[in-house]
Amino acid sequence: MENSTLEQPAAAIEGAASVDFIRALINEDNRTGRFGGRVHTRFPPEPNGYLHIGHGKSICLNAGIPRDYSGKFNLRFDDTNPVKEEEEYVESIVADVRWLVPEFTDEPLFASDYFEQMYLWAEDLVQKGVAYVDDLSAEEIRQYRGTLTEPGKDSPYRNRSIEENLDLFRRMRAGEFPDGSRVLRAKIDMSSPNLNLRDPVMYRILHASHHRTGDAWCIYPMYDWAHGLEDSIEGITHSICTLEFEDHRPLYDWYLDQLGIYHPQQIEFARLNLTYTVMSKRWLLRLVQRGHVSGWDDPRMPTLAGLRRRGYTPEAIWDFAERIGVAKANSMVDLGLLEYCIREDLNARALRAMAVLRPLRVVIENYPEDQVEEFEIPNHPQRPELGTRRVAFSRTLYIEQEDFMEEPPAKFFRLAPGREVRLMNAYYITCVSVVKDESGAIVELRCTYDPASRGGVTPDGRKVKGTLHWVSAAHAEDAEVRLYDTLFLKENPYDVPEGQEFTANLNPESLQVLTGCKVEASLAAAAPGERFQFMRQGYFCGDVKDSRPGALVFNRTVGLKDTWAKIQQQ
């Protein structure tokens, strides 16, 4: 650094406690002036599915680096295979990226916009004698490729003249040949121990209509050929991808070197794996197609669309990405960490409300029949600046069924016969009797209240061990609440018993729909997507698709930590 004559980017994070290995490489490149101090990354999805949390990690990496280095970020669609790609996917991907990276306001870029330039460069390689048209069938090419331990052998068409190759390649583009009849290949080394270098295919013939270029092309570039060119055209400095492309880097470099054009640095990192979740597009697609979920944005899905609908915030995902770090070791991150991140974010910002999910009627016998009081309750106990709201209280209320036990075990300190508890911000009540139906089920609690405990504190200062949330029966709004659990029962969903379908690991209780929930009146005005903490329960948000005034639907984003549940398990 002391020898560097280059100006360091103002925002460079030199000297920070520790940086990931990619930022360390960038720091080194800036030190040596390799890219003139420029930092330019890209996120290059193929529009063949929805983005998931694993892509989220990559987006946070690729968009986070420019944030740190005052660099640039491109969203570029790698749309080189028309038979797999769809417009719906490009729209969802743009929406997801903009959600996660609000400062990204550029228009997305498309590899398909570079097809002509790529073609010209391919002709260039033909002219240079390092690319040839091969007439072998797909099956023959596979056989000629050899195996992991045996070298391949040259195609009989490998030594055609440049003129013939050029003619054939041009006729490939012109549409003179059927699909699969010929390919353009790079002439590298059929005995390379790296199979990617055994004369890789650059172009295949595909008489397919592309979602953006229509029928303009009938030959389409392969990933390895296209990707480095895309990066080069855009002036990308650091082309970050996942580990499985490490073997492809020599090829990435070879193409750019043969062409003699601007050459970015490819860097590989380990993709994200999360317990209890699948990240492969193939499995996610199956879940959608077979109706195991309601769609790509089902709140149980690990897609960004699903997480967003579930109530996750972009901030929580960024925090998660920072906490898991970036490295080259394959790893399996505990789902609990993602949940920790959203809890932490929502704890700070979500307004509190009271909602009774499984109502149990409580009648306060000594409370006047027609009296209604309004309590002013803080929207966030730790943040008074967030204001208060008024909540009605009356003789007939609902509390949570699980907040009462007729025969409470030792550590249960909620309501029980003869026991006094606090109704949050309201009064102390004591259970005097239990009303049951013919089947013996508890249908109502009869209680008394202490008028002196108004607001939830008593003049004599006596303590109660339990504080319950509640809702006034006459003033409550009905709501549907959707509780979510993991989609799979196993930490590793791919661990399917021999001979069984992937459905064997599906969690039949991943969705629990609760109807007849009673929520405080203020929630009637909840905007779709608005997030709340239902006191003592968890974080919830109005469902963007299904919630309407008068027919409220809330999704549970994540439950609060539940020490009582843990005690019960012991």
321-345 per-residue burial string, b: 16 or more CB within 10 A, e: under 16? beebebeeeeeebebeebbbbbbeb
Residue 16 interacts with RNA (CB under 7 A): yes or no: no
Residue 27 interacts with RNA (CB under 7 A): yes or no: no
Torsion sign (Cα): 327, 333, 335, 336: negative
Name the nearest CA neighbour of 42 among 314, 266, 231: 231
Nearer to RNA, 41 or 425 (CB): 425
Nearer to RNA, 20 or 167 (CB): 20
Tokens encoding 443: 């249908």
Q: Tell how strand 359-364 and strand 372-378 pair up.
A: unpaired
Instruction: Specify the DSSP class assigned to residue 506.
Output: B
Residues 194-253 that bind RNA (CB under 7 A): 194-196, 200-201, 204-206, 220-224, 227, 243-248
Residue 76 interacts with RNA (CB under 7 A): yes or no: no
Binding mask 152-181 for RNA (x = CB under 7 A): ---------------------------xxx
Of 15-23, 116-124, 436-444, 504-512, the segment contacting RNA by CB under 7 A is: 15-23
- Of 309, 343, 395, 419, the residue at the interface with RNA (CB under 7 A) is 343
Residue 349 interacts with RNA (CB under 7 A): yes or no: no
- Of 171, 207, 290, 328, the residue at the interface with RNA (CB under 7 A) is 328
Task: Please check whether residue 445 is in contact with residue 468, taking contact to mean a CB–CB distance below 8 angstroms.
Answer: no
- Of 207, 411, 462, 545, the residue at the interface with RNA (CB under 7 A) is 411
How would you write 162-202 as a 3-class SS string? HHHHHHHHHHHHCCCCCCCCCEEEECCCCCCCCHHHCCCEE
Q: Tell how strand 428-436 and strand 471-472 pair up.
A: unpaired
Of 254-262, 300-308, 338-346, 443-451, the segment contacting RNA by CB under 7 A is: 338-346
How would you write 227-296 as a 3-class SS string? HHHHHHHHCCCEEEEEHHHHHHHHHHHHHHHHHCCCCCEEEEECCCCECCCCCCHHHHHHHHHCCCCCCC
Residues 472-531 that bind RNA (CB under 7 A): none
- Of 72, 98, 145, 263, the residue at the interface with RNA (CB under 7 A) is 145
Residues 275-304 that bind RNA (CB under 7 A): none
Task: Please check whether residue 546 is in contact with residue 309, taking contact to mean a CB–CB distance below 8 angstroms.
Answer: no
CA 212, chain centre distance (Å): 27
CB of 477 to RNA, least distance (A): 19
Nearer to RNA, 78 or 543 (CB): 78
Going from the C-alpha of 201 to that of each of 134, 164, 513, 543, the distances in angstroms are 9, 18, 51, 47
Cα separation, 561 vs 278, whole angstroms: 24
- Of 31, 34, 67, 84, the residue at the interface with RNA (CB under 7 A) is 84
Residue 52 interacts with RNA (CB under 7 A): yes or no: no
Residues 423-462 that bind RNA (CB under 7 A): 424-425, 455-457
Residues touching RNA: how many (CB under 7 A)? Answer: 93
Name 513's bridge partners: 482
CB of 493 to RNA, least distance (A): 15
Task: Please check whether residue 478 is in contact with residue 517, taking contact to mean a CB–CB distance below 8 angstroms.
Answer: yes
Of 76-84, 123-131, 310-318, 358-366, the segment contacting RNA by CB under 7 A is: 76-84
Of 56-64, 330-338, 514-522, 543-551, the segment contacting RNA by CB under 7 A is: 330-338
Binding mask 369-398 for RNA (x = CB under 7 A): -----------xxx----------------
- Of 157, 262, 283, 340, the residue at the interface with RNA (CB under 7 A) is 340
Nearer to RNA, 381 or 387 (CB): 381
Cα separation, 236 vs 265, whole angstroms: 8
Residue 329 interacts with RNA (CB under 7 A): yes or no: yes
CB of 508 to RNA, least distance (A): 25
CB of 284 to RNA, least distance (A): 14
CB of 414 to RNA, least distance (A): 5
Cα separation, 166 vs 232, whole angstroms: 24
Task: Please check whether residue 9 is in contact with residue 37, taking contact to mean a CB–CB distance below 8 angstroms.
Answer: yes
CB of 437 to RNA, least distance (A): 25
CB of 87 to RNA, least distance (A): 16
Give 500's contacts (C-beta < 8 A, 6+ positions apart): none
Tokens encoding 440: 């013996």
Nearer to RNA, 5 or 330 (CB): 330
Nearer to RNA, 274 or 298 (CB): 274
Catalytic residue list: 46, 271, 281
CB of 254 to RNA, least distance (A): 14
Name the nearest CA neighbour of 62 among 54, 70, 51, 73: 73
CB of 186 to RNA, least distance (A): 11
Residues 91-120 that bind RNA (CB under 7 A): none
**What is the three-class DSSP state of 31?**
helix
Cα separation, 282 vs 261, whole angstroms: 36
Cα separation, 75 vs 62, whole angstroms: 10
Residue 327 interacts with RNA (CB under 7 A): yes or no: yes
Token pair 């030959």 is found at: 219
